[in-house]
Structure 1
Amino acid sequence: MMVLLPLLLAVWVSVPYGGCSLYPSCVEPPAKWCSSIESAVQCGVLKQCLESDFLRTRQTEDPVQVGLYYESLCPGCRLFLTEMLFPTYLLLNEIMSVTLVPYGNALEKPDGQKYIYECQHGKQECLGNMIETCIMNMTEMAFPIIFCMESSVDVIGSAESCLKINTPELSMDKVMSCVNGDMGMQLMHQNALKTKALNPPHQYVPWVTINGVHTDDLQTKAMSSLFTLVCSMYKGTKPPACGGTQKLHYQSYCHN
């Protein structure tokens, strides 16, 4: 099931109301089915894509901003990201935004004009943090890729296959050029600054902020049911997933 889950959820990112099968003319990965009218038509999901865009354009209030400060190999972080944050985003992406900051309990040390990092779970975690940070800087499809990595048995080893599923145009070589270059170091330095600027200072990871605020109550509610928390905090008209009054009437069938 864990092998199939990343692919299934990648499909749900762009097709929130489901789809039956890929059309022979569909050449885009699932997460890009709604990237253009042509792709939507070729993949047989035009109606679903248009309905999804319709819901987003009707939202007049600012989305609920969910921030996750985490570590790539932290078991609790991985569990929250894959089983709470990403599924909630799939259902409520029209009323919420997500900011991922992979750094957590790492230590940053100046080394001349550069920085070196020590991570709680060792060098592999520093590498995982850096890979995910570079991916976020290189593609808008970063969240499905990071979900794919974090839900796998081997977070780092799965990076290349997760890229191929979601963004085949972005090679692992390009990502590693960022990881091993000045860009990756500067991006990680920004993660360090964001984490150190937290008020109150983080005491553990995963550390969740809602609209830039962290309290024990918000953390508890986010960990127990982020979906309920986001729905309750959104000030605009609730989407259908929250039990709102917006209704879409259409019929969809998967014929045998």
Structure 2
Amino acid sequence: MSVSLGLFLLGFCFVLESSECRPGAPCLYLPAQGCRFPETAGNCAGQKYCLEQKANGQNQTDSPVEVALYYESLCPGCRQFLVLQLYPTWLMLHDIMAVSLVPFGNAQESGQKPPYTFTCQHGEDECLGNMIEACIMNLTKLAFPIIYCMESSEDVIKSAQVCLQLYEPAVDWNTVMTCVKGDLGNQLMHANALMTQALKPAHEYVPWVTINGEHTDDLQQKAMSSLFMLVCNLYKGTKPAACTGAAMKFDRNYL
């Protein structure tokens, strides 16, 4: 069995204890998110996207559906949603949707200035997982597949280096860990804390999903049950074949 296939299959094998993680009980950053926090845009295309959007106008009928996931790296329900809903939907509808991952969730931040201190619901390992994923989003171009690989594996933390090597072999693992242990990682997690704290309404649990910047109980329920159908229904431009069920044409050279 290939490494990639093995990692994919693991996504359907990890034990999920609950659908939500309640307190006490995202180049992956969305381009628009990079507009709000340009200091965390790193190597992603967020700033280019912002310039293009300003030049072309923000209210285009074919603007992608923006799906943001506020989550924790070790939350069972978060992993389930990311692996079984968000990533498969993005694979099929990436032309009409933009994804943002914000790893922080129910964590707590302390300190008035950097370096900030973080306490996570599922312990120190979760804080480490959150930080690794935040750094991967900042340092790589294939962050979503890497994070999917991590979240679908049996051990999120231990799989991180293998997943990075699988999708971004040119990025040295030491570079990621330098980010995790240094000022950059601390600032990235602080930015995630600010974005999570700025949610309106305030998040009550994770996974917490916003669609085009909005969260309602109805949107959350529809996203959790069938994100694919929700994105297809909300997209205002010409529906892609995946949404309509239209037959797709393939180049015979690839058959």
CA contact (8 A) 2:63 2:96 kept: yes
Partner of 2:208: 207
Give the structure with higher Rg (CA): 1
RMSD (CA atoms)? 2.2
Partner of 1:156: 157
SS at match of 1:97: strand
Partner of 2:21: none
Q: Which runs of 5+ in 1 are unaligned?
A: 9-58
SS at match of 1:158: helix
> Quick one: percent identity of the two aligned structures?
62
Residue correspondence of structure 1 range 1-256 to structure 2 within 5 A: 4=5, 6=7, 61-110=62-111, 113-243=114-244, 248=249, 250-251=251-252
CA contact (8 A) 1:238 1:244 kept: no
Length, aligned pairs only: 204
Give 2:151's aligned amino acid: E
Shift of 1:174: 0.5
Shift of 1:124: 0.1
Residues 199-239 of structure 1, C-alpha deviations (whole Å, 9 max, x = no match): 00000000000000000000000000000000000000000
CA contact (8 A) 1:65 1:210 kept: yes
CA contact (8 A) 2:8 2:152 kept: no
CA contact (8 A) 2:133 2:147 kept: yes
Partner of 2:34: none
Partner of 2:57: none
CA contact (8 A) 2:114 2:186 kept: no
Runs of 4+ in 1 over 2 A off after TM superposition: 5-8, 244-254
CA contact (8 A) 1:69 1:102 kept: yes
Shift of 1:139: 1.0
Residues 103-145 of structure 1, C-alpha deviations (whole Å, 9 max, x = no match): 0000000076421000000000000000000000001200000
Q: Within 2, Cα distance between the matches of 1:137 and 1:168?
A: 16
Shift of 1:251: 3.7
Give 1:61's aligned amino acid: D
Give 1:141's aligned amino acid: L
